[in-house]
Amino acid sequence: MSQPLLEAANVSHSFDTLLFSDVNFTLSPSQSTAIVGRSGSGKSTLLHIFSTFMKPDEGKVILLGHDLDILDDEEVESLRRYDIGIIFQFHYLFKGMSALENISVATMLSGEQIDHTILKKLEIDHLMGHKTSELSGGEQQRVSIARVLSKKPRIIFADEPTGNLDKETAELVMNVLLNYTKETGAGLLLVTHDESIASRCDSTCKLADKMLKEEV
């Protein structure tokens, strides 16, 4: 049996009040999971903890075989550069650069080559020469997703990746993300308010009453 890509045990975190407690979670290769829950329940915070950007108050997170508690800053940065991909609701592209240049920055850092097949699947291959300011919001988001996938990440964390997209484009993006997990063995963990998007994943977990539970 293959080793999980992500394992979390007894993870708890608070800000002014307790957000969630004793969260246990596993993500396996080729698996896609959606985390749903009301606004303010802590979904994005949990995703940030799993993806190395925050430390929990309590509990342990094992990411790609690494105990995040004992990694130094250089080791965490290496994970971010080579092995994990982060997709946000906002694209965070570099202004003044072309779409191709934005993607090239990520591939240059990770040592990968731009995957033109992904560009075609996202229907943005004809936009590579355009500056980001010349692209629509949906086109910019797809460029940012191509930038992440061209790194060839082993696990993808996505925070409302389709939140600003129309239904047709959201379906296109989900098709690409889900196909990527099946073709490469990567894992996909996404946060979403959209039940139709969540239903596309292999499993759905709901964060409610400070607990994360898998929905059946």
Residue 216, pLDDT score: 64
Task: Classify residue 179: in a domain, yes or no.
Answer: yes
For residues 121 and 179, is the Cβ–Cβ distance under 8 A?
Answer: yes
- Measure the CA–CA gap between 154 and 198, rounded to whole angstroms: 21
Q: What is the pLDDT along the chain (216 residues), one digit of tens a residue?
A: 579 999 999 999 998 899 999 999 999 999 999 999 988 889 999 999 999 999 999 999 999 999 999 999 999 999 998 899 999 877 788 888 999 999 998 887 777 778 899 999 999 999 999 999 999 999 999 999 999 999 899 999 999 998 888 999 999 999 999 999 999 999 999 999 889 999 999 999 999 999 999 986
pLDDT of residue 191: 95
Cα 114 from chain centroid? 19
Residue 87 in any domain: the answer is yes
Q: What is the pLDDT of residue 1?
A: 58
Q: How many CA atoms lie within 13 A of 123 on its CB side?
A: 9
Cβ–Cβ under 8 Å, residues 150 and 103: yes
Read off the DSSP letter of residue 4.
Answer: P
Query: Which pLDDT does position 173 carry in this prediction?
Result: 95
Residue 140 carries which DSSP code?
H
- CB neighbour class for 115 (10 Å; exposed up to 12, middle 13-18, buried from 19): middle
User: CATH code at 203?
Assistant: 3.40.50.300
Inter-helix orientation angle 137-149/167-184, to 10°: 0
- The number of domains in the chain is 1
Strand spans (E) along 15-83: 18-27, 32-36, 58-63, 66-67
Q: Are 63 and 76 in contact (CB under 8 A)?
A: no
For 95, which DSSP code? T
Question: Residue 80 is part of which domain span?
Answer: 6-215
* Pairing label, strands 32-36, 203-208: parallel
pLDDT at 185: 96
Which residue is listed with tokens 């499993």? Answer: 203
pTM: predicted TM-score of the whole model, two decimal places: 0.92
Residue 35: inside a domain: yes
Residue 132: inside a domain, yes or no? yes
Instruction: Please report whether residue 204 resides in a domain.
Output: yes
